[in-house]
Each structure stands twice: as structure tokens, then as C-alpha cells.
Amino acid sequence: MNKALLIVDVQNDFCEGGSLEVKNSLDIIPVINKLIDKFKQLSYPVIATKDWHPSNHKSFASVSGGRIGELGELNGIPQIWWPDHCIQGTKGAELHPDLNTVDTVIHKGSDPEVDSYSGFFSASGKPTLLEEVLKKQKVDTLYIVGLATDYCVKFTVLDALSLGYKVIVIKDGCQGVNINPEDSKLAFFKMKEKGAEIISSTKLEI
């Protein structure tokens, strides 16, 4: 069996200067780049997810008429309204230019009717290509980093655990949105409670 590095949504719109910027997000890039180099050296797959919304995505406050950061409902599912972000084909949707090259990119969030924080499934349960890619490469252990700790990283980790993967979250390779100041702390707590190992990159042994 095999290990893989999974990098969640390190896209321009989530980095400093982006439309949904995560504070201190650029700090994680050198940490992730070291991991990319290490995994590649060992011939382990390096996979990145991309939030990949059409411009009429209904999680956008501008489309649904909600207020940014407030909780509403989208097709019967609780939904936070976001600024327009990661629109397909735009600069904001590209992986950050300082990020080293990855092997595979998985797109999510393309259906305008439903959000998809997790790299595995949309909020309505429709799978992305991620599990198929991991199965093909016989991956059973995922090392997960990226943006944002309290949304896409958290939901990706929880789905990975439900699917039976061993999950190690590298905490200095993650950064959170923190609409509420404790959100990232709570997210790490929840991921750990569900079975993820949370480590610092300096403690990584692969």
C-alpha cells in the first residue's frame, strides 16, 4: 500500500490578496513545498484539490442575495454565503504560483446548486474523482495540508476517515478562515476526535 500528499485548495483566491483571503496563508507554502519535494523523492503521489466554481455558483452571496459570512440554506442544506471565489478559468482559481508542481489536480464545486468543501464528495453526496485516483494508486494513508483548516481541510479529512484512510494532518501546513476565532482549533479537535493524527511538519516521519 501507498502514502500520498493531499493539498487542499492552495489557490490564489484563498491566499493573501485573494477574494476570500485566509490570513497568514502564505506561511504554509514553504512548509508544503518541502513536503512536495519529500513525497516526490519517495515516488509517493502528490495530489491537489481545486475549488472550481462556475460564476453563477449559489454559494456566492452575489448570486443568492445573502450576506457574506452569514448562514443561510441552499437546496435544503445549511450554507454560508461567500464572496465570489475560485471561478473556473480565472487567476483566482489557479494554484498559488509559489507552490511547487503537483502530479494530479482534482476539481470540486462545479455544480452551481451545491457546495463542496470536501475533496471527496459534494454536500449532496456526489463523488469527485479523488477516491478513484487514490484507489488506482493503491493509497491507504493520506497526509493532508491546505486551506482552509475550518472548511475544506476539515471536511476532506472527515470524509477520508469515513472512507477508511489513515489520515495525518500536518498542522503548520494548514491555515483557517476563522469567522469565529476558535474555528480552526475546533476543527483540529474534531478531526482528532474522529481519528486523524495531527502533527507538526518537523515531526514528520515517512
Of the two residues 88 and 137, which places its CB atom closer to ligand VGL in the complex? 88
User: Which residues here bind ligand VGL, judged by CB under 6 A?
Assistant: 9, 14, 51, 82, 117, 147-148, 151-152
- Contact track, Zn ion, 42-61, x by CB under 5 A: ---------x----------
Q: How far apart are CA 114 and CA 124, in angstroms?
A: 7
Of the two residues 36 and 93, which places its CB atom closer to ligand VGL in the complex? 93
Shortest separation between residue 14's beta carbon and ligand VGL, angstroms: 6
Shortest separation between residue 38's beta carbon and ligand VGL, angstroms: 24
Sequence-ordered list of residues with C-beta below 8 angstroms from that of 44, at least 6 positions apart, any chain: 2, 3, 4, 5, 206
Per-residue b or e along 10-22, where b marks 16 or more CB atoms closer than 10 Å to that residue's CB: bbbbbbeebbbbb
Q: Residue 9 binds which one of ligand VGL, Zn ion, none, with CB within 5 to 8 A depending on kind?
A: ligand VGL
Shortest separation between residue 152's beta carbon and ligand VGL, angstroms: 3
Q: 191 by DSSP, 3-state: which? A: helix
Q: Which three cell numbers stand for residue 70?
A: 452569514
